[in-house]
Chain A
Amino acid sequence: MRCSSDLCRFTSAIALALLLLGAAHAEEEVRNPFAGDAAAAVEGKQLYLKMGCYSCHGHEAEGAVGPDLADDAWIYKPTDAMIFNTIAKGRRGTVMAPFADQLTADEIWKIVEFLRDKNRQRHGGKQ
């Protein structure tokens, strides 16, 4: 279907804006249930090592074959949801593979918290 009238184009633009706002709102609502949980960060590191993440990202997530995960230089804004999705689904066209078949959602969140904690450490405790 094509829009030929101004009214149709205006209505479509409003609908698209509402859709994007809704998506952004949904993204913001996804929070790590383990945010700030020191024990979860420790467990997250154990999972990170067990899964072999270190072989690409280094034992302290400082980067090797894969990028540094503790710094501030990310391609996409490192929201909790984006990090969770990358671990779960992988990143197409890169070496990053999906891990949802080997980790529960809680386990992925704990790895996210480990990475957040590493970033805080790099900033002297402040994120």
Chain B
Amino acid sequence: MKSTMTHDLFRRAFGTFLALPLFFSASHGFAQDVTDEMLLNAHKESNNWRMVGRDYMSTRFSPLNQVNNRNVKRLVPKWSFSFGVLDAQNTTPLIHDGVMYVTSSHGRTFAVDARTGSMIWQYNHQLPEDVGKTMCCDIGNRGAALYGNKVFVATPDAHVVALDMKTGTVVWEVALGDYKHAYTMTVAPLIVKGKVIVGLSGAEYPTRLFIEALDAESGQQVWRRYTIPAPGEPGSDTWGSDPDNLKYGGASAWITGSYDPALNTVYWGTGNPNPDWDGVGREGDNLYSNSTLALDADTGAIKFHFQYTPFDVWDYDGVNEHILADLGARKVWLHGDRNGFLYMIDRTNGKFIYGREISKVNWATGFDAAGRPIVNPAKVPSYTYEAKDICPASEGGKWWNPMSYSPSKQMVFVPSREICTDIKSAKGDRVVGKPHWGIGSIKWNKGHGQLVAFDARSGSKKWTVEAPSPFMSGVLTTGGGLVFAGTPEGEFKAYDQDTGQELWSYQTGSGIVGSPVSYFVDGKQYIAVPSGFGGWTGWATIGGGGAPHLKDSRKGGYVTVFALFDE
């Protein structure tokens, strides 16, 4: 009796205190489970970065301000961590209770002490040696997801793997498609109410792709939403006369969606129709390619959609992310598209509000009232006509690498480029498991990079930073008034949010094609950035190239972590 009472008293008196060692012992395997509440409130706390977009709105905004525009010059590297593999390091590291969970190219996942860079565990997915045959754009990965006591990763060979958060051992593993038929994955999963949601890559090959929700505990399928309708379903009449287009029309889903809990809606982007540049035989809007699908989070049912580029013959792969913003009474999403426009769309109904040029646009001359682009016929390639100087090129505008939004300033910061192309299409062979581009000739014309800041409410440009090469990294904004972004030359830079003035730069050793994050442990704010050049780089070199100086850029594979210099 005495013993029990003592125990209860002790627990009541010191319960809060006892929680601290658990919290600070995270790197030794005592991290608390990731809960729905943590994910729902991710935007309200500063220490962690528990999903790739940081919060369900995908703002990539950290409220932390220990590092700010007055002291950022004192930012110095604290540790670095090698992945041991090269090629595209497209990841966004995650932070939970003092541990970094970071993926790399070639199917690897690591847990690392976020204070020191010491490795806790490593998971190497055993890849089939021929997986590179059906991955158009390198064997990269865009990050993990956390829920309960598990870490979830999607693999190049289209598996979803649940790992024990403390040990990295496999809890369950499911295959969602046949990689030999180009059903592959690079996406970071999204966790919504106990479900692990992923999207497939493969629209450079004859495929019919989908978004899928799995039960986080078991890996069992909860729902699958094909991005191309089945015969007879709404939208199936938008693919021309060839019924095989409904089997092989692509429309990938390789960028993580966003989630509005109040509307119980997941917003997920879809990519280009296949073949990329040849529209002969698929005349029509090709639904739901190049669209945002507003999906019921519980069932995957399409509530509504908005299509950015109907009947795409430019490979304006519209998968890019959605930033959910509340602007006054308006609930909107912001989307920077490969087709060159920054969009604001009402997220309650999919209605178009505005489309603004991020970069030069000449393939369209404007929009109708519903936001449908008015196509410039001079910029439509065919088998007999080489369309010259189409702006932007396939990579935008804005490419896949994510932009960031400052809720306090209501500004959005878009990594961008000014590169245009010459295209002539051609009839290709549709063979399952082989690339099918429909290209006769293609040239990228030399251009430059830019980072563009917009006032989200009006869509007006506030400032533009020009650079020799496109910004290929994701963007991070912070409560310290800073914008962080990386270059393909490997420079990690900090800019002033209000003016775009460059305040700090550090050479990481290899091109930055992943996304920076910020977190807070033991009284210190850290900034982390992956680096390692790779991914689709044909735009840089083919036919003269948009950035020929990037040819044979040095590869790498590491994450570098910074904090203020300790006096």
Contact surface of A with B, Cβ cutoff 8 Å: 50-52, 54-56, 58-59, 62-65, 67-68, 73, 90, 92-99, 101
Quick one: given A55-B435, A63-B541, are A98 and B129 in contact (CB under 8 Å)?
yes
**B130 near A64: Cβ-Cβ < 8 Å:** no
Given A50-B429, A97-B130, A98-B129, 17 additional A-B pairs, CB 8 A: A50-B434, A55-B136, A55-B204, A55-B435, A58-B538, A58-B542, A59-B542, A63-B551, A65-B137, A65-B138, A65-B535, A65-B538, A68-B541, A90-B132, A95-B139, A96-B132, A98-B130
Contacts of B439 in A (CB 8 A): 59
Contacts of B522 in A (CB 8 A): none
**A95 near B87: Cβ-Cβ < 8 Å:** yes
B537 located at the interface, meaning its Cβ lies under 8 Å from any Cβ of chain A in the complex: yes
CA distance A101 to B535 in the complex (A): 26
User: Shortest CB–CB separation between residue B158 and chain A, in angstroms?
Assistant: 16
Contacts of B136 in A (CB 8 A): 55, 65
**A65 near B537: Cβ-Cβ < 8 Å:** yes
CA distance A113 to B128 in the complex (A): 29
CA distance A118 to B7 in the complex (A): 80
**B132 near A62: Cβ-Cβ < 8 Å:** no
Q: Which of B137, B139, B435, B541 makes the CB contact (< 8 A) with A54?
A: B435
Interface residues on B, range: 20 to 34
Closest to B555 in A: A94
Q: Lowest 7 A-B CB distances belong to which pairs?
A: A64-B538, A95-B132, A52-B435, A55-B435, A97-B130, A97-B132, A97-B133
Contacts of B131 in A (CB 8 A): 97
B26 located at the interface, meaning its Cβ lies under 8 Å from any Cβ of chain A in the complex: no
CA distance A90 to B131 in the complex (A): 11
Contacts of B138 in A (CB 8 A): 65, 95
23 A-B pairs, CB-CB below 8 angstroms?
A52-B434, A52-B435, A55-B435, A55-B437, A59-B441, A62-B542, A63-B541, A63-B551, A63-B552, A65-B136, A65-B138, A68-B551, A68-B552, A90-B130, A93-B85, A93-B106, A94-B86, A94-B87, A95-B87, A96-B132, A97-B130, A97-B131, A101-B130
User: Shortest CB–CB separation between residue B255 and chain A, in angstroms?
Assistant: 19
CA distance A112 to B223 in the complex (A): 47
CA distance A59 to B551 in the complex (A): 16
**A52 near B541: Cβ-Cβ < 8 Å:** no
B14 located at the interface, meaning its Cβ lies under 8 Å from any Cβ of chain A in the complex: no
**A51 near B434: Cβ-Cβ < 8 Å:** yes
Contacts of B135 in A (CB 8 A): 95
B534 located at the interface, meaning its Cβ lies under 8 Å from any Cβ of chain A in the complex: yes
**B537 near A64: Cβ-Cβ < 8 Å:** yes
B536 located at the interface, meaning its Cβ lies under 8 Å from any Cβ of chain A in the complex: yes
**A52 near B133: Cβ-Cβ < 8 Å:** yes
Contacts of A90 in B (CB 8 A): 129-130, 132
User: Shortest CB–CB separation between residue B205 and chain A, in angstroms?
Assistant: 8
CA distance A51 to B436 in the complex (A): 11
- For residues 432 through 469 of chain B, which have their beta carbon under 8 Å from a beta carbon of chain A? 434-435, 437, 439, 441-442
- For residues 532 through 555 of chain B, which have their beta carbon under 8 Å from a beta carbon of chain A? 534-538, 541-542, 551-552
User: Shortest CB–CB separation between residue A44 and chain B, in angstroms?
Assistant: 17
**A94 near B132: Cβ-Cβ < 8 Å:** yes
Could you mark each residue 84-118 of chain B with 1 if its beta carbon is under 8 Å from any beta carbon of chain A, else 0? 01110000000000000000001000000000000
CA distance A54 to B277 in the complex (A): 15
- For residues 403 through 453 of chain B, which have their beta carbon under 8 Å from a beta carbon of chain A? 429, 434-435, 437, 439, 441-442
Contacts of A92 in B (CB 8 A): 129
Quick one: given A50-B429, A52-B435, are A97 and B538 in contact (CB under 8 Å)?
no
User: Shortest CB–CB separation between residue A73 and chain B, in angstroms?
Assistant: 7
User: Shortest CB–CB separation between residue B434 and chain A, in angstroms?
Assistant: 5
Contacts of A64 in B (CB 8 A): 536-538, 541-542
Q: Which of A52, A73, A93, A98 makes the CB contact (< 8 A) with B552?
A: A73
CA distance A98 to B130 in the complex (A): 6
Closest to B541 in A: A63
Closest to B545 in A: A62
